[in-house]
Amino acid sequence: MKIVFVTGKGGVGKTSFSSSLALTKASEGHKVLLVEFGPKPFLNYIFSKNKVDKKIIPPANLEIVTWNYEEVLIEFIAYFLKVKTLVEKFFSSPIMKKLIKVAPSLRELVYLGKATSPYRNIGKKMDYDYLIIDSYATGHFLSLLRSPAGMMSAIKKGAMHEQCKTILEVMKDPEKVSYYVVTLPEKLPMIETKEFIGSLQDEFNISPQIVLNKIKQPLRKNGKTAFEQEYSEQIGHQDNYASKMNIYKSFPYFYDLKLSDLVTSMTKKLGDNELV
């Protein structure tokens, strides 16, 4: 199974790309699990099994889930203690609920533990070819990756230390995990993306693929109106920004109003291109 993390600044099309990638892999015959971190299920705006909603109906080999933090934590601890009812009772106490909410990096660590569990032989078996995760935005994503090392520095030995160590090993293995950063061809997003990628490489030796979204297409005929001149300048700026980075895949500016229609357009654009 290949684990795929998709990140990007808010509003750049991160969720749309995650969904399109999952649909593309499913269309190739792979069994795919598309995941988002709870509590708000944004993928519900794209997918539905109800034809009346006029959203995308996922194929049988594409499963879509939202991971809830507390449920995943209980599942993880119950795996070691073997008695789920006791674990649920323990975590249902008001004191433990408050502790879980304020424990530093615990949420991020729980999600990473779940994602990497197939390679660490922990918990339930995930029988999928691809685990595609619509993850946190770039700023929070760094906190996600830093959580195992942070816990290891706080807990020098024992089971928790070893769990964090194996999580980090999986996350750094390019044979097991791929990373995609979605961005826009604009100055600020490109600068932030470059800085983010630099942090990934310096801290974790991770080199992600860059997905450039909402590329403006040149006008068929450049005129002299204020709009045409300004638009041509924008084209020049975006080409300049894009030339300074190694772009793996780019998407044109789709003018679809509904998220489901946008994802459909992006999926068609992906076509047979091998992304992972």
Q: What is the pLDDT of residue 85?
A: 60
pLDDT for residue 169 is more than 90: yes
Looking at every residue in the chain, the average pLDDT score rounds to 85
pLDDT average, residue stretch 183-205: 92
**What's residue 249's pLDDT?**
82
| Domain spans of the chain, in order of start | 2-270
Q: What is the mean pLDDT of residues 153-171?
A: 88
> pLDDT class for 13, splitting at 50, 70, 90?
very high
Nearest 10 degrees: Cα torsion 106, 109, 114, 119? -150
Q: Across residues 217-239, what is the average pLDDT?
A: 75
Closest CA to 108 of 164, 63, 64, 161: 164
Of the listed ranges 109-123, 210-224, 258-272, the least confidently predicted one is: 210-224
Q: Write down the pLDDT at residue 86.
A: 52
- Note the pLDDT of residue 256: 73
Residue 99 has pLDDT above 70, yes or no: no
Please report, rounded to a whole number, the percentage of residues in the chain having pLDDT higher than 90: 49
At residue 216, the pLDDT reads: 82
pLDDT at 183 over 70: yes
209-215 and 177-183 strand pairing = parallel
Phi, psi of 220 (to 5 degrees): -65, -35
Residue 246: predicted pLDDT: 82
Among 49-58, 116-125, 164-173, 226-235, top mean pLDDT goes to 164-173
How far is residue 130's CA from residue 120's CA, in Å, rounded to a whole number? 16
In this predicted structure, what is the pLDDT of residue 18? 96
Domain 2-270, CATH homologous superfamily name and number: P-loop containing nucleotide triphosphate hydrolases (3.40.50.300)
Higher pLDDT, 125 or 136: 136
Q: What whole-number distance in Å separates Cα of residue 255 and Cα of residue 257?
A: 6
Supply the pLDDT for residue 170: 97
pLDDT score, position 87:
53
112 vs 235: CA distance, rounded Å: 39
The rounded distance, in Å, linking the Cα atoms of 158 and 272 is 46
- 70-84 residue pLDDT tens: 888 878 777 766 655
Question: Looking at residues 171-179, what average pLDDT do you find?
Answer: 96
pLDDT band at 96 (very low <50, low <70, confident <90, very high): low
The per-residue pLDDT for 125 is 84
Cα 246 to Cα 16: distance, rounded to the nearest angstrom: 21
Residue 88 has pLDDT above 70, yes or no: no
Q: Is the pLDDT of residue 136 over 90?
A: yes
pTM assigned to the model: 0.88
Residue 221 pLDDT greater than 80, yes or no: no
